[in-house]
Amino acid sequence: YSVVRKISSIRSFHLFLYKKYKINDITEQIDNPRFYKKIPDVLSIEEVDMLLDINLHDAYSYRNKAMIELMYATGLRVSELVSLEVNNVDLEEGIVRCFGKGNKQRYVPINEAALFAINDYLVKFRSKLEYKESNDVLLLNKKGRVIKREYINKMLNKASKKAGINKRIHPHMLRHTFSTHLLENGANLRSIQTMLGHKNLSTTEIYTHIDKKKLI
């Protein structure tokens, strides 16, 4: 978009030159560049399996396993993930209640693998991460506080390198992967829109391009 702004400035300047000095306006020959939405990168099912193959040996590894399973199972935004409270996860019904943009509430189903990982973390290890300043958030750092976004980025990249995945993974990539895998397996676009918390269906439609690319 900075290119468009520069072209606009050049056009305005040449219009001034034409009006003031009758110099030919050569900017009429310049076309504005066309912009296309970049199709987001996603992980394959095999890469997701590799990423989730975590050596579980302490509270942090169990927490990280629950975190990644939850991101892939629900497509939560990272802001929604770090603020998710324990009572927002219904393990019996298999549903997560989250609050998205504008504090808008929505419910997202969780798969069995994620439910199992979350339950393991809650029952065996979350209490070990609690501290004086702990609150009701589900995922805690070593000080018993809310996990920062920067940590999640670092954790995902460390896990991906360890798994031998040659991609730079970030939380939003798991959100894209969640949506794409649902669409590839026959999920309704409206349902995906609801689970992602998108206001407009046009935002969700980017994933149809990924699906077509895979089919080609």
Closest by Cα among 81, 75, 25, 26 to 48:
75
Catalytic residue check, 77: yes
- 77, 126, 176, 181: which is the annotated catalytic residue? 77
Catalytic residue check, 181: no
Catalytic residue check, 209: no
| CB of 121 closer than 8 Å to CB of 63 | yes
Closest by Cα among 207, 211, 181, 215 to 37:
207
Report the 10 Å Cβ neighbour count for 91.
14
Catalytic residue check, 207: yes
How far is residue 194's CA from residue 145's CA, in Å, rounded to a whole number?
A: 30
- 101, 128, 154, 199: which is the annotated catalytic residue? 101
How far is residue 154's CA from residue 156's CA, in Å, rounded to a whole number?
A: 6
Catalytic residue check, 107: no
Residue 4, classed as helix, strand or coil, is helix
How far is residue 162's CA from residue 171's CA, in Å, rounded to a whole number?
A: 17
Catalytic residue check, 172: yes
How far is residue 172's CA from residue 78's CA, in Å, rounded to a whole number?
A: 7
- 63, 65, 126, 175: which is the annotated catalytic residue? 175
- 14, 97, 149, 198: which is the annotated catalytic residue? 198
**Within a 13 Å sphere around the CA of 2, how many CA atoms are in the beta-carbon half?**
0
Please give the positions annotated as active site.
Answer: 77, 101, 172, 175, 198, 207
